[in-house]
Structure 1
């Protein structure tokens, strides 16, 4: 009868501790880290074992029969690391010395240390096998209960025969029954905690997915805006293009018709003037068509690049001769500057380099009303990631209207100009800088812009010198 009372008391204490653990984890440790929760749960198991020893059954003031091994059984079913069970077994055994150091506490320590190692082995076996949980739990409960009774029979202070015949018939079936009952209670608690943890993890994943969806939505909205802007720019381009094509084409048609109808009546001076206008209009049309074709070739990847040795000084002189008349007509000073240390030779495509410089110089003269335009050559070493090494820098410096900070990126996009009124006031389609940028990339270089609105601009074409150096080494 005393054994039955002792087991019922232990059962009540374990249920009470399980309830307190549930409350503690729910309200105190809900926001704690996983590591803190794990260590707290181990301490809780040790505390349960200690509670069982406090309310154990004493015989002759020496021997204590308790259920300290039951929490260890539960731990073997729920813990993911076998080493934790060895620690729990040894810690629970050490807790028995709180009542004093005697034969019973030493026997209890040895028993729980052995059971801790046994529980670790069973835990490892359960994680490696595919049996149902009820089978694993039954094996763990039966093995630990049997080894527990055997340990106490061997290491306890009661004789082996007396313990097996008088004590085990009561303690073993009640211990197994209580182990199953406690396992069910604590296992249910553990499953509830796991469900809560899974819900928390699922909420975190949903939050991350929500953030990712918001970012994706934002990216799609930005892309949609870019597509809308591109569509708008192309619409504006088509409107501008129709004007740019009609103006010279109408001049050609009208003047050609006048010459055809009244050519015999016109004097030689009028014929020359009309012929000059027809020629200039034809050149404008040809330049416009060439720009469109060049842009199409670059975008389609069909632009051919043919590299050869280029004299940098001769390149500057060619550009000077081509724009000297434009400088005189606008009464602007046109200067060439050959910087100290600038290379004499460049290995690149002369035709494409000249095309880029023509576009840059044409814009410089178009948007400069007073002052000067300068074409400068110099060398510069860059240490930027992906652009390390020596570069030839061909800069077009003007004192014109400049470009505002907010427009300095967009003017390099096709069909765009710094302002919608630019095309109406100065003419042009806004393709020159876009073509120049793409050609610079094909040549292995890039274009930089430095400008202050109202104070002029500096367009710098960077071309790599490494290829020329490698070519010289190959020749030598």
Structure 2
């Protein structure tokens, strides 16, 4: 009965140690690295073996019977790594020497060290076997208990016949049953811990999903606001467009009717003036319709870019002829400058480049009451990290009303202007910059803006020089 009492006491102590270890794990090392968890497990298993020996059954002054091999069984199932199991076996065996260095203590050290190597060998099977964890546990428990009994018979200080006849019939089945009982209790601890980990992970996933949903909600709300603003801008654009279309149409209709209804009372000079007004109104109407068609083509992806040789030198001459009269009428200084190292020919779409520059210069003249408008053509190296590209840059600078920094991005959007009163004060559809920006991207370039309200603006058209032909 003494063996059974001590073995039950050993089991109770191991359960207490396991419970305390579970509490410590939850409050301290649950979020630690894998290395720290493994080291903690080795120290815990060795400590549990030492506690088992401390409360073991003393057959005499030196011989102690206990369940110090049970933590090694649990480790084989929980951490099936050979090196860890060898450390636990040797470490637990060495703790036997803390109760005195004698022949029995040396036998106990050898016994646990051998069991450590046996469990290390079993760990390979545990990791590769397709059996369920319960069957694996029963096999490991049986093997370790059998090897423990054999080691005691071979290395123990008690004669083998005496051990087999008087001690083993009690200690072997008791050790086997209590090993199974303790393993089931530990398994229940592990399942509870696993459930807690799964709940924690589920909570983390729910938190992440909630945060993602919140971000998506904000993005959807922002997108809804953008769509609402776009709808409002389109409504304003249509209202403004009706005025822009009606003005030249009215001029054409009224003057045409006046010419048709006259009774030869109009002089030749008046007829010529009316014809000029009709022509200008028609050109203005054609330009508005062209902007709308270009925007629709860009949004539909049907705007074709036709690359061909383009003389850079001819661009200033063409633009000077187109805007010289405007500059003279508004009494603005209009200058064009070009660096000497600019290539004479580039390979791009001449029509679209001129369209962009016309839009930029038209805006510059439109929003400048006094001062100057300048066009500069230069070459620049620009890029990110180790990638540097060569660009030809067309800068359009004016001393006009300028644009506030917070409105720089907005003016490149279709149907939008920096100020909603601009269309009423200066006219225009608000499509020029949007179309120019889209065309620049189709040409492989981009447009930048430097401007402050009341201090003028500088729009820069960047076009790549990879396709230069000297």
Q: What TM-score does the superposition give when structure 2 sets the normalisation length?
A: 0.94
Residue-by-residue CA offset, 1:76-106 (whole Å, 9 max, x unaligned): 2222534322221121111111122222222
The equivalent residue for 1:150 is 150
Counterpart position of 2:61: 61
Rounded Cα–Cα distance in structure 2 between residues aligned with 1:80 and 1:181: 20
Indicate the SS of the match to 1:393.
Answer: strand
Q: CA separation in 2, counterparts of 1:5 and 1:387?
A: 80
Superposed displacement of residue 454, structure 1: 0.7
3-state secondary structure, aligned to 1:378: strand
- Aligned match of 2:310: 310
Name the structure 2 match of 1:352: 352
Question: Any idea what SS the aligned residue of 1:336 has?
Answer: strand
2:232 and 2:273 mapped to 1: Cα distance?
39
User: For structure 1, which segment, 265-274 or 299-308, has the greater mean C-alpha deviation from structure 2 after superposition?
Assistant: 265-274
Task: Write the deviation string for residues 258-299 of structure 1: whole angstroms up to 9, x where unpaired.
Answer: 222235343333323322222221111111111111122222
Aligned match of 1:103: 103
Q: Distance in 1 between matches of 2:29 and 2:337?
A: 75
Q: How does 1:418-429 map to 2 (within 5 A)?
A: 418-429=418-429
Counterparts of 1:116-127 in structure 2 under 5 Å? 116-127=116-127
SS of 2:323's equivalent?
helix
Number of the residue aligned with 1:209: 209
Name the CA distance, whole Å, in 1 between partners of 2:376 and 2:242: 36
More deviation in 82-91 or 106-115? 82-91
What secondary structure is seen at the aligned counterpart in 1 of 2:322?
helix
- CA displacement at 1:41 relative to structure 2: 3.2
Q: Tell me the equivalent position of 1:406.
A: 406
In structure 2, distance between residues paired with 1:124 and 1:274: 102
Equivalent residue of 1:447, what SS?
strand
- 1:26-51, Cα deviation, whole Å (9 max, x unpaired): 44555655554443333222111111
**Cα distance change on mapping 1:387 and 1:264 into 2, 3 Å:** farther
Change (3 A) 1:404 1:186: same
2:307 and 2:380 map into 1 onto residues whose CA distance is 21
Distance 1:263 1:343, change over 3 A: farther
Is 1:447 aligned to 2:459, yes or no?
no
Aligned to 2:370: 370
Structure 2 unaligned blocks of 5 or more: none
Q: Is the 8 A contact 2:336 2:374 kept in 1?
A: yes
1:424-435 equivalent positions in 2, closer than 5 A: 424-435=424-435
Give the direction of change, closer, same or farther, for the CA distance of 1:388–1:263 in structure 2 (3 Å limit): farther
Distance in 2 of aligned mates of 1:396 and 1:321: 16
Classify 1:140/1:438 alpha carbon distance in 2 versus 1 (closer, same or farther; 3 Å): same
Measured in 2, the distance between the counterparts of 1:79 and 1:224 equals: 54
CA deviation digits over 1:326-376, x for unaligned, max 9?
010001111111224333322222211111111111111111111111111
- Per the alignment, in what secondary structure is the counterpart of residue 184 of structure 1? helix
Alignment gaps of 5+ in structure 1:
none
Q: Would you say 1:114 and 2:114 are equivalent positions? A: yes
Which range moves more in the overlay, 133-142 or 235-244? Answer: 133-142
Note if 1:235 corresponds to 2:235.
yes
Separation in 2, partners of 1:260, 1:81: 104
Task: Spell out, residue by residue over 1:51-94, the C-alpha distance to the aligned partner (whole angstroms, 9 max, x if none).
Answer: 11112222342322221111212222222534322221121111
Q: Does residue 196 in structure 1 map to residue 196 in structure 2? A: yes
Map Cα deviations across residues 422-452 of structure 1 (whole Å, 9 max, x no partner).
1101110011111111111121111111111
- The CA distance in 1 between the partners of 2:32 and 2:298, in whole Å, is 59
> What CA deviation, in whole Å up to 9, does each residue of 1:130-174 have, x standing for no partner?
323332221111111001100111111122222222221111011
| Alpha carbons of structure 1 residues 387 and 111: separation in structure 2 relative to 1, 3 Å | closer
For 2:29 and 2:449, the matched residues in 1 are separated by: 59
Corresponding residue SS for 1:347: strand
Greater shift, 160-169 or 237-246, is seen at 160-169
1:343–1:378 Cα contact (<8 Å) kept: no
DSSP-derived class of the 1:83 partner:
helix
1-side partners of 2:384 and 2:28: how far apart? 54
Q: Give the corresponding residue for 1:74.
A: 74
Do 1:382 and 1:390's aligned partners in 2 also have CA atoms closer than 8 Å? yes
Secondary structure (helix, strand or coil) at the match of 1:379 reads: strand
Cα deviation per residue 1:155-195 (whole Å; 9 max; x = unaligned)? Answer: 11122222222221111011111111211222222222222
TM-score under structure 1 length normalisation:
0.93
Residue 314 to residue 217, structure 1, CA distance change in 2 (3 Å)? same
Residue of structure 1 equivalent to 2:11: 11
Distance 1:275 1:461, change over 3 A: same
| Aligned equivalent of 2:134 | 134
